[in-house]
Amino acid sequence: MDSNLVMQNINYPLARPPGLTFIPNMFHRNFSRAELPIDLCINTLSFAEMTAEQVEDYCASISEMIGSSGLFFEQNHQNNDLGLANIFPKYSKRLRKCETQRLPTYPNIRAEANIWVSADWRA
């Protein structure tokens, strides 16, 4: 399986044949109009570092990128007043809340993990 790491703010295509493409969140705009849908988008712990406007833009782009068949896995804690609970449902439907377990000695810094979809999966 091929993998790529995007390191510049330029337009870039998906890897062919399909593989993994690692995209820093600040470059997501260059990828949102890709010709192939994304199967899985992952974001962990970066929304707390963004403004509400940035999160809104990011979620709108992710919804477009995953189309009707992809998944968006996110695990973010809200340590500010972003209102993530109001932003996510505007662009996606929660498929499921993920149950996670911690090691007893691991610091309690993780938040809820969720899987979101753009399509109405119940139809």
The answer to whether the CB of 23 falls within 8 A of the CB of 6 is: yes
80-104 mean pLDDT: 75
63-85 mean pLDDT: 80
Task: Specify the pTM.
Answer: 0.77
At 73 the pLDDT is 92
Q: Please, which residues have CB within 8 angstroms of residue 87's CB and are 6 or more apart in sequence?
A: 52, 55, 56, 59
Which tens digit of pLDDT belongs to each residue from 22-65?
Answer: 888 788 877 756 566 788 999 888 887 888 888 899 899 888 88
Work out whether strand 93-98 and strand 113-117 pair parallel, antiparallel, or are unpaired.
antiparallel
Of 76, 71, 78, 77, which Cα lies nearest the Cα of 96? 71
At 120 the pLDDT is 67
One-letter-per-residue 3-state SS of the chain: CEEEECCCCCCCCCCCCCEEEECCHHHHHHCCCCCCCCCEEEEECCHHHCCHHHHHHHHHHHHHHHCCCCEEEEECCCCCCCCHHHHHHHHCEEEEEECCCCCCCCCCCCCCEEEEECCCCCC
